[in-house]
Amino acid sequence: MFGCFNRKFKISEWQPPPDVREAFRRYAEGADHMTADQLLKFLVEYQREDGCSSADAEAIMQKVSLRRHHTTRRQGGLTLDDFFYFLFQDDLNGPINSQVHHDMTAPLHHYFIYTGHNSYLTGNQLSSDCSEIPIIRALENGVRGIELDLWPNSSKDNVHVLHGRTLTAPIPLIKCLTSIRDHAFVKSPYPVIITLEDHLTPQLQAKVAGMVTQIFGDMLYYPESEGLEEFPSPEALKHKIILSTKPPKEYLGSNKDGEKDSSEDEQLLRETSDPMPEPEADDKVNQIGSDQEDEDSDASRQKSGTLAAPEYKRLITIRAGNAKNGLRHALRNGADKVNRLSLNEQRLERAVTLYATDLVRFTQKSILRVFPKSIRVTSSNFKPTRGWMHGAQMVAFNMQGYGKSLWMMHGLFRANGGCGYVKKPDLLMMGGSDNEVFDPKLTLPVKKTLKVTVYMGDGWRLDFSHTHFDAYSPPDFYTKIYIVGVPADAAKKKTRVIEDDWTPYWDEDFAFPLTVPELALLRIEVREHNRSEKDDFGGQTCLPVSELRPGIRAVPLYDKKGQKFKSVRLLLRFQFE
């Protein structure tokens, strides 16, 4: 009884925005074609690419000519349409530097490190399978921190990787280690840190030591003497694998003669072979599976006395500590030693509230790892910026936990060529004359203003079916822009909705005053306006503000899982004032 409502279906022609036309006219000096020298001048002056050379400009012209006209060089140079085409190619004109360009010679704790949590899980934290596939995928995406939970198998004679006290199906440790060896440096040459959550007997620890040395061989790095005076640099650890966990206890208790009773040893060994005891009632809310890892994961092996495996202990490069004497004590006293402290997101929140500057000061000398609270059974994640702005180097994420938090993680680690190590800004590593350090809660003066012009978007008609957004008409796209960083810099803006167009043209300007641009992320999301239901997702990206290249740039968009669309991209301009 109600007739179908059809809107006119149209696909707009690609048209260069006025700013693109003006830039071409200016640098082509009014001619119909732009020469290589003129293109170079545009790249250096307008795009601020100071390191660009004549050879770079020539290479761009050849690639554009080959792609558009199937020849390596056209007579006369680039036309306006060629120039517009070049600007819209993210591999030729992307928003950030695609090469490693940070100083990689500082100690490890000077870097944010791309870190996974429960890296072996394929899905949720309670019942998904354990597999080497998520480990391989993480390494191939540039993740440098892999977490493995080690448990005795049912016969207590070998080591399994699984999420303890859950229904997750185990995988043999040797399979995980072999996969790490084979894929560690496919994406990045910089070191892979394996964080071990260890629930093993001394005999099984010794077995792990044998596996690790045999499988990794010369790839394995560990200090020659016990303990490190200073962390090595990512550059010094290229193509190396390092272990991080708590060192096993040497002994616990003795008889009156100072020697342990052998029968007691046997009893303690039997205890360590049993499953971990149930947590106390107060802990159950905060502990599903074995995510209490750095608080009490070594509770059973502390009973193992003089049986602690020395060959296992010597392989531990980054030694984990705990906060058993209180978090403030650990932050203030642990920073004098080279070690690692782990906090779940809830303890981080408490530390941020009570000891924010102690956190920052601690991370100037030692490594802080933050991991999701255990009630995140669906493998969701928390907002990572809270850890980063307090200096936490290893913000550990469920890489299968897709969502906005993971998009931010992807965004930060697109920096520095996607190598998995991002140099922390100087403000997090410096102290004042009175030993004062950066406090994210303080509102500082505006340091610079980021101006973003959203020109247009394209590619949806190639990557989506024509009925994906609307069965009867083209989509109605709009773009949302967020600044994520210190509280004072948080902001969100959006363009108007462009109706019935696969190639939306907005040409809108936005300004974002930034007090701490070094810690800011630019998050962009395109959505399709829906009159009767929730707006449809049309792509997203997240980029570190400190890495943005000024000028007119092609910005590729990604799907909800962080996979890059083949064709969907935006044309934006970035300016800093």
Q: Which residues are catalytic?
A: 117, 163
The closest alpha carbon to 156, from 251, 308, 275, belongs to 275
Q: Which two tokens stand for residue 63?
A: 């690639």
CA gap 386, 382 in Å, rounded: 9
Task: Characterise 186 by phi-psi region: left (phi > 0), alpha (psi -120 to 50), beta (else).
Answer: alpha
Long-range contacts of 279-288 (CB under 8 A, 24+ apart): 285/375, 286/344, 286/346, 286/373, 286/374, 286/375, 287/374, 288/125, 288/126, 288/165, 288/166, 288/374, 288/375, 288/377
Q: Say if residue 497 is exposed, middle or buried (CB neighbours under 10 Å; 0-12, 13-18, 19+).
A: middle
Q: Which two tokens stand for residue 551?
A: 């000028």
Task: Characterise 377 by phi-psi region: left (phi > 0), alpha (psi -120 to 50), beta (else).
Answer: alpha
- Percentages (nearest 5) of helix, strand, coil residues in the chain: 30, 25, 45
The closest alpha carbon to 435, from 489, 365, 352, 337, belongs to 365
CA gap 344, 364 in Å, rounded: 20
Query: What does the DSSP assignment read for 218-259?
Result: GGB---SSSS-SSPPPTTTTTT-EEEEEPPPPS-----TTSS
Q: Which residues contact 444 (CB under 8 A, 6 or more apart)?
A: 488, 515, 516
Contact yes or no for 522/568 (Cβ under 8 A): no
Contact yes or no for 481/473 (Cβ under 8 A): no
Q: Which two tokens stand for residue 216?
A: 């990794």
Contact yes or no for 94/47 (Cβ under 8 A): no
CA gap 565, 137 in Å, rounded: 18
Question: Which single residue is written with the structure tokens 């924010």?
Answer: 356
CA gap 412, 392 in Å, rounded: 13
List C-alpha distances in Å: 376 to 13, 197, 218, 409, 464: 47, 18, 38, 17, 32
Phi, psi for 497 (deg, rounded to 5): -85, 130
